[in-house]
Every structure is written in C-alpha cells, then in structure tokens.
Structure 1
Amino acid sequence: MKSNNMFKFIEDIIPANAMVEGDNFEIISFFTFNHDTQEVSPADISNNDIHFNSLEEAICVKGGNISLVRTPFNPESTLHFYRLKSKINYTLAISLGFGIVKLTDSKRPNDFLLYYFNYLDDEEQMMSPRPTEQWFLLKCYLQLTEEGRFHEPKLEIYIEENQEYLMLLMHGNPPLLLKKILMAVDKYKGELIILQSKPRKFKNRTHTAER
C-alpha cells in the first residue's frame, strides 16, 4: 500500500543539540573533491567500519589531486537527526544533502542517523536550512529507496517549478538525480493512500540511542 506520509518511514527524530559530537556520535559522511576537474562526489562509505583515515588511504592509492571533505555540521543551527526504519543508502543520502552520523553510545550495533547539512553562503557562513527544503529532499530520498511503499506525486510539480534551485542543493550528478526521481514518481503511479497526519510532538531528551 502506497503512502505519502514520510513519518511512517522514520523511526525517530532526535534534536541534534541534545547530543555532543565525540561523546554521543561521530560523523561518517564525506565528499571527495577533485582539484583538477572541480568535481564534488559523495565518498563511498558502504562499509560500516570505514573511517576518515582509511578513506584517505584509498583515495591516495587511486591517485589524482583529490581531497576528502567531511559533510558540514553546524551545532549552532537547529538540526535534527533522523533514524529511518530502512537501511541507509549512503551515496544517495549524501547526494541529496544528508550527512550521516553513527551513535557511539548506542546499544544497537550500527546505529546510523541522517541529518540535513547546510550550505555555505558567499561569505562562507553557515545558513540555517529551510524546513520545506529539508522535507522535500527527504521525500525524494524515500521515493527512490522505498520501492513504491512511499509515493509523493507532488514531487513532479515541485521539481518542474524549482529545477534550477534544486540542482544547487544536490551533489554528484544533479540532472541524473532529478531524472531518477521523476522516473520513480512515474513508475509507482497508481492507488495512493494519502494520510493527513497531525503534527508530531517529540520529547526533548538527551538522546534515544539506548532502548
């Protein structure tokens, strides 16, 4: 049964300011930047145990004028971590503007959460993400990963009206990403259960890693 209610696919939402980097979590999402071609691409972190040093070693072996850059994280911004019910697609998540953290004090063996990272303005100052932008990209992620279980037909209209702006928010190959999203919307057209969910309230807590 299809649904456009993205909260059905999110297990938990945790305020980022309730946790401390280094004590509660570590960021495990990275970009590679090619200084020769000026290309930015998500780094392959499909191995759960991979870390910055091993990624740098792998890049050095391949050669080329390439740097490894961690996805931005600004603790001063109003950010949330998202624990999804399904396994995270690392490359797709980073391509759509989501960083990934691993909870270091969780009882779960591999507790990975998404967070939406901000963009830098012309003066290289962090900008706070707009909620609509964040929700849209999260819906795009679910549309591509949930194989029809999540389906939001309005994505097509939003993409058509904001194509140039959306390409600025995506990484790697934005035109291909938008094409894949539109193809997924078209592929899973059909009966859709539209749920008008009430706003969810989340408690302020230290974190919810331990269950």
Structure 2
Amino acid sequence: MTAVSLERRRTYHVGNVRGQLLTATRNILQENGRAGLSLRAIADRAGVAPGTVYYHYADKAALLAGLAVDGFRQLAEAMRVAYETDGDQGGLRSTGAAYLNFLRQKPELYELMYEALDVGRREDVAAAEAEAFAVSRAAIMADLADRHPPELASSIAEAIWVWGRGIAAVALSRTLPGHGPEDGAMESAVRGLEALIAAQTRA
C-alpha cells in the first residue's frame, strides 16, 4: 500500500463513505475511463478498505448505478441553473445548451448514465433520469405555452429529450473515447431543431 493510500485511510470521513466512493469513481472515470474502474482502485482512491465498498454497495454494478444517479442529478441541476440564468433566450436554448455542455465535458459519465438506465434497468436510475427530463420538459413547455395545448407541448418536449439522446449517441460514436462531440456539430443540431419547431408552429 502506498503512502498516499495510507494517508487517505487515515483521513476519510466515516459518515460520508458513500459520497467518497462516488467521488473516487467519478474521478477515476474522468482520468482513466471505464477501464480504470476496478473496485480495488476505487476503494484505494476513496481511502477505504476494499471490503468497505460492499458495505455500502452490493456490487460494482450498484456503485456505477449510484454514479449514474448522481450524474443525472448533476445534469438536472445544470439545466435548472441555465434556465434560471438564461431563460430569456428560451427554455429549449438554455436547457439544451446546458445538456450539450454536460455531454461535452463529461462524455464518459454520460455514456455510463445511459448504460445504467438501459442495460441495468434500475428504478433509482430511471427516477433520476425522470427528474432531469422534468426540468427540460418544464422549460420547453414554457416556450410553447402560447402555441400548443399542454398535452401537445409535453409530447414535443418528450420528443426533444429523445432527440437529445439520439444526437448524443451519434456524436459520441464519431469521437475518440473519452472525448466530447465537436461544438460546431452540436450547435448545428440545436439550430436545426429550433428551425423545425418554428416551422411547425407557423404551419
């Protein structure tokens, strides 16, 4: 065990081990990608014994699901702040920019979030994604309040959320692992969606 590991073991806060494990996992993911996410490496980074991980999470999948939940909550907060700050630009524009910025800055986390949602099929991850979607939906529905009835506006917001996942998947597939999509391509996609919505509204 390294001196750094020993120091971490001495200083970790007993009451916040779950949070420390998530922080350690997030940092390793950002620095080394998915390949670096062994339970031993996570425990060492968090400053706890490997067996401690199992006290807080049933297995590695549960720990990664916890990180996915945290990721969706970060995304929700980023969109909420963007709408509160730049909502005069429109709900789609402000929350969409926050969504795409999250994707650019944290591509590995974004992919892990949706893997936990789609493959793991965990209720806690699904609930966290629903919280993020609710922020986006409310902002977009506000854009459409004077154009469409609430039911249709909600359906449009849901379609945009699905679109966001689709464009993210395509963009990430065209970049190197661990890198976010190019700004120009994402901005072009947002402008295209805005133009499409505007055209449908005028029709």
Q: Report the structure number with the largest CA radius of gyration.
A: 2
TM-score bin, normalised by smaller chain: under 0.3
TM-score, length-scaled by structure 2 = 0.25
Higher helix share: 2
Higher strand share: 1
